[in-house]
């Protein structure tokens, strides 16, 4: 990697030039894209890598003896190695490509989850995305296991004592997010993982909101499953990763059946392929994997820590700006936050606010953010969420503040 | 497209001071409308005389568009029979979804024409149509004698 020397200032103008969509206009206004937590934009490096693969290297993987098929296989398996290196996994066998974080969690729930029974418990937190709630509810319905939920406080921080109290020898899995997609809260994952381990439970970490903003290291984290999506990491949609310890994967029954996940198929019985292929039935999203690898190259070339520092500066700036707006209430004021601010404005519904902001060129997420229990906890039907990426800048925040002023004009 | 075409004064007025807000007790039919996308919820209560809606109220929480639409709807349908309501409902749906249409909505829509601006904001159509779907369900279920009903995501879809 050509890591840029730290003494060169983080050049956000130059970074913005790498993202074609950022120079487009919307409703006749400059686009202030403040919705990277929903899906980040793609840099040219990713767009071109996918384009190059489609033009020169596409065929099915792991099948043909011809050279083009070998090129596609090399590209796909090269991407797997890129991911392994990015998250510092011990081996390629531990890197399984899925459609995204949601599918990764469903894979674990449906395969690993088969071992659960009525006396078992799964523990999650109150700030999970629906993707880290519903698969466990479904699993509990199937197996008779119990889903427990660790509470949070009004600042949007996990109540770690209550979390510990909910752990017991019955707890078989603790599944939680590394960073809240709604509040931006960074969870105390080290303590949580250690506590889960002390009762013998496995841990699943939802890294969807974390991987693009901090270095994640599978050797250092100590969790057992880690999931994330490519599109929140400046890569394509429709591809994501499940990482799990090899010893655990070995014990897991296959999930989907089909081509690529088998060694031999006879009507008298089928033998399954080695890891990681055993969990990758059917032709995978090859160009997506190529794009994800390019996104990881790109992020490493910026320096993920430097991008994080930049986003933290914007978070502080925007938080101050939000506090200066009459009637605006920030939802989620944890001590440690990622580049996410959720808020409501007195007298203006989040959807009306979203439309007015859109009219001013400001793209934000409005609604329940796939976290209805969290909305209920804070007693709001919906919030407006601003989130930053490596390309966000001060002008985006200025435009947001002006647009919020416009909302006051319209709604009085 | 100017924002003022969406948030006309009449919309903002009905949002601030909705008409026919509350619940009728007793009532002949009630429906809960729910738009999970934005968390909008509303409850309609109706009194019926034959096939005429003699009284109607709504209660709920939602964005300005959904509240104003429900308020305007209750004013427009009170005293009307099923057939006239169905006609009005069709006109409203057409107006809301006629993306790119520039001509004025039909005069018979009266004050409901204030919602014409929604057609330039497809993401907001569901906000405006939620109450009409709820009304439709309330009238249908009355016919089936099902009493209280709830409509969910699928029922508020305008696709």
Determine contact, residues A367/A353, Cβ cutoff 8 Å.
Answer: no
**Pseudo-torsion of CA A164, A170, A173, A179, nearest 10°?**
-20
pLDDT of residue B157: 28
A6, part of any domain: no
Question: Could you give the domains of chain B?
Answer: 3-156 (3.90.1010.10)
Averaged pLDDT, A115-143: 98
Determine contact, residues B13/B33, Cβ cutoff 8 Å.
Answer: no
A7, part of any domain: no
A368 to chain B, minimum CA–CA distance in Å?
A: 7
pLDDT of residue A352: 94
- Same-domain pairing of A285 and A146: yes
- Same-domain pairing of A184 and A208: yes
Which of B36, B41, B64 comes nearest A349 by C-beta? B64
Task: Tell me: pLDDT of A349 over 60.
Answer: yes
pLDDT of residue A7: 62
- Same-domain pairing of A280 and A328: no
Q: Is A375 in Cβ contact with B39 (below 8 Å)?
A: yes
Question: For residue A85, what is the domain's CATH number?
Answer: 3.40.640.10
- Quick: pLDDT tens for B38-48: 678 899 999 99
pLDDT of residue A6: 54
Distance (Å, whole) CA B5 – CA A165: 55
Q: Is A356 on the interface with B (CB under 8 A)?
A: yes
Last residue within a domain, chosen from A269, A300, A331: A300
pLDDT of residue B154: 27
- Quick: pLDDT tens for A200-217: 999 999 999 999 999 999
- Quick: pLDDT tens for B80-134: 999 999 999 999 999 999 888 888 899 999 999 999 999 988 889 999 999 999 9
Q: Is B3 in Cβ contact with A368 (below 8 Å)?
A: no
Q: Is A188 on the interface with B (CB under 8 A)?
A: no
Distances from the Cα of B115 to the Cαs of A163, B68, B105, B132, in angstroms? 49, 9, 10, 13
A327, part of any domain: yes
Q: Is A367 on the interface with B (CB under 8 A)?
A: yes
**What one-character-per-residue DSSP string does B26-89 give?**
S-SEEEEEEETTTTEEEEEEEEEETTEEEEEEEEEE--HHHHHHHHHHHHHHTT-BHHHHHHHH
Distance (Å, whole) CA B97 – CA B100: 9
Distance (Å, whole) CA A403 – CA A412: 14
- Same-domain pairing of A169 and A231: yes
Q: Is B127 in Cβ contact with A351 (below 8 Å)?
A: yes
Averaged pLDDT, B17-32: 93
pLDDT of residue B152: 33
DSSP E strand boundaries for A151-297: 171-177, 202-206, 225-229, 240-244, 262-266, 269-272
For residue A332, which phi and psi values (nearest 5 degrees)? 100, 95
As for how many domains chain A has, the answer is 2
- Same-domain pairing of A93 and A230: yes
Q: Is A375 on the interface with B (CB under 8 A)?
A: yes
Determine contact, residues A118/A290, Cβ cutoff 8 Å.
Answer: no
A2, part of any domain: no
Query: Mean of the per-residue pLDDT values for chain B?
Result: 86
Distance of CA B150 to the CA centre of its chain: 15
Pairs across A and B, CB distance < 8 A: 52
Which chain A residues touch B64 with a CB distance below 8 Å?
A: 348-349, 352, 411
SS3 category, A399: helix
- Same-domain pairing of A28 and A84: no
- Same-domain pairing of A172 and A254: yes
SS3 category, B121: coil
Question: For residue A366, what is the domain's CATH number?
Answer: 3.90.1150.10
Residue B140 pLDDT level (bands cut at 50, 70, 90): confident
- Same-domain pairing of A107 and A250: yes
- Same-domain pairing of A254 and A360: no
**What one-character-per-residue DSSP string does A43-89 give?**
PHHHHHHHHHHHHHT-S-TTT--SHHHHHHHHHHHHHHHHHHHHHT-
SS3 category, A320: helix
A280, part of any domain: yes
Task: Tell me: pLDDT of B158 over 80.
Answer: no
For residue A138, which phi and psi values (nearest 5 degrees)? -65, -40
Q: Is A382 in Cβ contact with B38 (below 8 Å)?
A: yes
Range of the domain at A311: 12-42+303-407
- Same-domain pairing of A171 and A103: yes
pLDDT of residue A41: 98
Last residue within a domain, chosen from A252, A273, A300: A300
* Other beta carbons less than 10 A from residue A380's beta carbon: 19
A232, part of any domain: yes
- Same-domain pairing of A53 and A22: no
DSSP A329: E
pLDDT of residue A66: 94
Six-digit token pair at A29?
């206004």
- Same-domain pairing of A208 and A101: yes
Distance (Å, whole) CA A361 – CA B83: 43
Residues 12-51 on A with a CB inside 8 Å of B are 27
SS3 category, A315: helix
Residue A63 pLDDT level (bands cut at 50, 70, 90): confident
pLDDT of residue B150: 46
Averaged pLDDT, A150-162: 97
User: Which of B2, B38, B70 to probe by mutation at the A interface, max A CB count within 10 Å?
Assistant: B38
Q: Which of A140, A223, A370, A390 is catalytic?
A: A370
Averaged pLDDT, A23-28: 95
Averaged pLDDT, A24-42: 97
Distance (Å, whole) CA A243 – CA A89: 8
Bridge partners (DSSP) of residue B41 are: B34, B61
Last residue within a domain, chosen from A284, A300, A316: A300
Residue B35 pLDDT level (bands cut at 50, 70, 90): confident
Determine contact, residues A247/A116, Cβ cutoff 8 Å.
Answer: no
In sequence order, which ranges of A205-339 are alpha helices (DSSP H)? 218-221, 246-251, 286-302, 304-323
- Burial label for A53, CB within 10 Å (0-12, 13-18, 19+), is buried
* Other beta carbons less than 10 A from residue A9's beta carbon: 9
For residue A266, which phi and psi values (nearest 5 degrees)? -130, 155
A3, part of any domain: no
Q: Is B38 in Cβ contact with A351 (below 8 Å)?
A: yes
Q: Looking at beta carbons, which pairs linking A149-153 to residues 24 or more positions away fall under 8 Å?
A: A149/A123, A149/A124, A149/A125, A149/A373, A150/A123, A150/A124, A150/A125, A150/A126, A150/A176, A151/A126, A152/A125, A152/A126, A152/A127, A152/A377
Q: What ipTM does this complex have?
A: 0.84
SS3 category, A95: strand
Distance (Å, whole) CA B55 – CA B58: 11
pLDDT of residue A3: 53
A171, part of any domain: yes
Task: Tell me: pLDDT of A391 over 60.
Answer: yes
């Amino acid at each position: 990697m050509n890591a840029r020397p730290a003494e060169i200032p983080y050049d956000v103008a130059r970074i913005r030039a790498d993202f074609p969509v950022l120079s487009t206009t919307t409703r006749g206004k400059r686009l202030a894209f403040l919705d990277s937590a929903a899906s980040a934009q793609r840099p040219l490096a990713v767009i071109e890598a996918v384009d190059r693969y489609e033009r020169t290297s596409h065929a099915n993987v792991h099948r043909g003896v011809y050279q083009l098929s070998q090129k596609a296989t090399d590209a796909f398996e090269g991407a797997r190695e890129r991911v392994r290196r990015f998250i510092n996994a011990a081996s390629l066998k531990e890197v399984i490509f899925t459609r995204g974080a949601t599918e990764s969690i469903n894979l674990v729930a449906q395969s690993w989850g088969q071992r659960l029974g009525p006396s078992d418990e799964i523990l999650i937190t109150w700030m999970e995305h629906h993707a880290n709630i519903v698969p466990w509810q479904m699993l509990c319905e199937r197996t008779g296991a119990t889903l427990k939920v660790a509470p949070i406080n009004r600042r949007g921080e996990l109540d770690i004592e209550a979390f510990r109290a909910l752990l017991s020898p019955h707890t078989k899995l603790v599944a939680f997010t590394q960073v809240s997609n709604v509040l931006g809260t960074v969870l105390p994952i080290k303590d949580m993982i250690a506590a889960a381990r002390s009762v013998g439970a496995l841990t699943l970490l939802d890294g969807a909101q974390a991987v693009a903003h901090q270095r994640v290291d599978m050797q250092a984290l100590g969790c057992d499953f880690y999931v994330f999506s490519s599109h929140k990491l400046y890569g394509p949609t429709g591809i994501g990763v499940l990482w799990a310890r090899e010893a655990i994967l070995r014990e897991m029954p296959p999930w989907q059946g089909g081509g690529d996940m088998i060694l031999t198929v006879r009507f008298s019985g089928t033998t399954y392929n080695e890891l990681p292929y055993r969990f990758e039935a059917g032709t995978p999203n090859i160009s997506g994997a190529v794009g994800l690898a390019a996104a990881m190259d790109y992020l490493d070339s910026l320096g993920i820590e430097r991008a994080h520092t930049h986003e933290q500066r914007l978070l502080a700036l925007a938080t101050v700006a939000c506090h200066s707006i009459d009637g605006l209430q920030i939802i989620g004021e944890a001590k440690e936050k990622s580049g996410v601010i959720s808020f409501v404005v007195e007298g203006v519904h989040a959807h009306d606010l979203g439309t007015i902001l859109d009219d001013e060129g400001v793209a934000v997420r409005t609604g329940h953010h796939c976290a209805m229990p969290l909305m209920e906890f804070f007693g709001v039907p919906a919030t407006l969420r601003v989130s930053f990426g490596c390309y966000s800048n001060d002008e985006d925040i200025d435009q947001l503040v002006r647009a919020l002023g416009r909302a006051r004009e319209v709604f009085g | 497209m100017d924002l003022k075409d969406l948030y006309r004064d009449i919309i903002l007025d009905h949002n601030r001071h909705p008409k026919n807000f509350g619940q009728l007790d007793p009532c002949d039919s009630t429906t809960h409308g729910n738009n999970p996308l934005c968390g909008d919820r509303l409850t309609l209560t109706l009194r019926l005389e034959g096939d005429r809606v003699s009284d109607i109220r709504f209660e709920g929480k939602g964005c300005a568009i959904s509240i104003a639409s429900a308020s305007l709807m209750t004013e427009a349908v009170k005293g009307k029979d099923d057939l006239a309501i169905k006609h009005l409902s069709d006109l409203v749906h057409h107006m809301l979804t006629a993306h790119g249409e520039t001509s004025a909505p039909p005069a018979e829509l009266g004050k409901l024409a204030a919602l014409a601006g929604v057609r330039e904001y497809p993401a907001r159509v569901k906000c405006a149509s939620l109450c009409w779907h709820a009304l439709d369900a309330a009238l249908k279920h009355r016919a089936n004698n099902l009493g209280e009903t709830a409509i969910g995501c699928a029922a508020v879809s305008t696709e």
